[in-house]
Amino acid sequence: MIGREPRVQPPVLDLYSDMPLYNTKAVVHHTGVPAPTLRAWERRYGILSPRRGENDYRLYSERDIMTVTWLRERVESGMTISQAIALLRSLEPARRRGRRTRNQPVMQAESPATFTTAASVAQFSLNELSANVLHHFSNLDETAANHTITQALAVYTVEDVCLRLFTPVLVEIGQRWAAGALSVTVEHFASALIRAQLEGLFRSAATGESGPLALVGCAPGEMHELGVLMLALFLRRAGVRVAYLGQNIEVESLLATIASLRPACVLLSASLPAPLETLALVAQQLKTAAGQPLLYIGGQALQQDPAAAERTPGYLLNVDARTAVEEIKKRLSA
Ligand code: B12
């Protein structure tokens, strides 16, 4: 199963001792975090659990050092400390909660510090991130939208951000547009920005030099490409060699390309009813194309029109792109 785990992993704290052995100077030396900052993190967020040595100096454990190092890395990657702590707690909540009761002041639910942290946890839910992105789209605020998307990608996998943030936001935009509650300008701005994000992710995903080739694109006449671009991205991330052909493919040159490159499969998408007729014709031609590549078809139009899907040769995958990739990978490796 690909892509279900959060992208940022929690520190594996249980591998490290919680014996209180290190004084503040040693922790500063190991982590590079200055002593006043350590004390502020301790005081504000209750995140560390130093015990007091005989001389009343703080003594920290290896676990504390790992925690501080992990937090420092998150802060260096652009999070605020309260976001990083919220993330740490959301990634491994149970053990930390049990541990904090042991030897240091428990943060009161109503204390301002806890309140900030709880707010930060909520800030990382995909619902909240989606609402923020939609809000920024409505204001045509590119910087804020990209910032929120970067935050989402720091916490969730690419697949989750595509399926649980981009997709619901796009569907919502479509509904608001159809109801006259959102302008075409905002719709175009949002789809251009999401396309740019997907393109960046697709280009930077590792691409296999060898292995079966998959050609991915939109049916002739089809301009909705974000779903099929997600599919291309997920396939590439799953190790498949992918060539992305974009919107509105041209049939003659596709057939010529198939004859020369002999791809293992061709994946075509239709979102609107209009391209379905041409898609059925293309699918007929692909049945006798050189090398007889497997044809996969999908997209909203086929989901909504089972009769058209029936008329179109090829494997219909009426599923999201992640599930489709699992299916395609199985067949490619069979
Ligand atoms: C963004 C958008 C546009 C953008 C597209 C930009 C781009 N570069 O792609 C632009 C502005 C160009 C556009 C234009 C139009 N649009 Co438009 N658009 C949308 C919108 C808001 C989002 C589409 C989207 O990306 N969805 C999210 C993706 C992720 O979902 P998806 O495509 O279903 O893909 C998933 C699965 O289906 C699957 N999948 C997809 N393809 C494939 C292929 C295979 C092989 C497999 C296995 C799986 C698979 O994987 C994906 C991820 O899980 C939708 C609203 C909606 N509900 O989707 C309207 C929507 C699709 N558009 C609509 C309309 C009417 C139009 C226009 C006709 C408007 C007009 N009058 O000009 C034009 C037509 C353009 C054309 N000739 O194609 C209607 C369609 C209604 C209908 N069924 O007829 C919708 C539903 C809006 C609405 N609520 O009414 N649009």
Q: From first to last of the 334 residues of the chain, give the pLDDT tens digit.
A: 333 445 666 677 777 777 888 888 888 988 899 888 888 888 877 778 788 877 778 888 888 888 898 888 888 777 778 778 877 777 665 455 444 433 333 223 223 333 334 455 556 789 999 999 999 999 999 999 999 999 888 888 999 999 999 999 999 999 999 999 999 999 999 999 999 999 999 999 977 778 899 999 999 999 999 999 999 999 999 999 999 999 999 999 999 999 999 999 999 999 999 999 999 999 999 999 988 999 999 999 999 999 999 999 999 999 999 999 999 999 888 7
Domains by residue range for the chain, with CATH: 13-121 (1.10.1660.10), 126-201 (1.10.1240.10), 208-333 (3.40.50.280)
How many angstroms separate the Cα of 251 from the Cα of each of 32, 173, 177, 245? 59, 31, 32, 11
Q: Which amino acid is at 62?
A: E
- Say which DSSP state 13 is in: G
Instruction: Answer whether 321 contacts ligand 1 (Cβ < 6 A).
Output: yes
What length does the chain have?
334
Strand, helix or coil at 265?
A: strand
Question: What does pTM read for this prediction?
Answer: 0.76
Q: How much distance in Å is there from the Cα of 7 to the middle of ligand 1?
A: 28
Distance 6 CA to ligand 1 centre (A): 28
CA triplet 249, 224, 239: central angle to 5 degrees?
A: 70
Q: Whose CA is nearest to atom 46 of ligand 1?
A: 298
Other Cβ atoms closer than 10 A to 116:
16
- Is 187 near ligand 1, meaning CB less than 6 Å away? yes
Mutation choice for ligand 1 from 157, 198, 224, 242, CB with most ligand atoms inside 8 A: 224
Nearest CA to ligand 1 atom 91: 224
What are the tokens at 79? 């999070």
List, in order, residues 6 or more apart from 250 with CB less than 8 Å away: 220
Pairs from 182-188 (Cβ < 8 Å, separation ≥ 24)? 182/138, 185/140, 186/137, 186/138, 186/140
Please name the residue whose Cα sits nearest to atom 67 of ligand 1: 272
Residue nearest to ligand 1 atom 64, measured at CA:
272
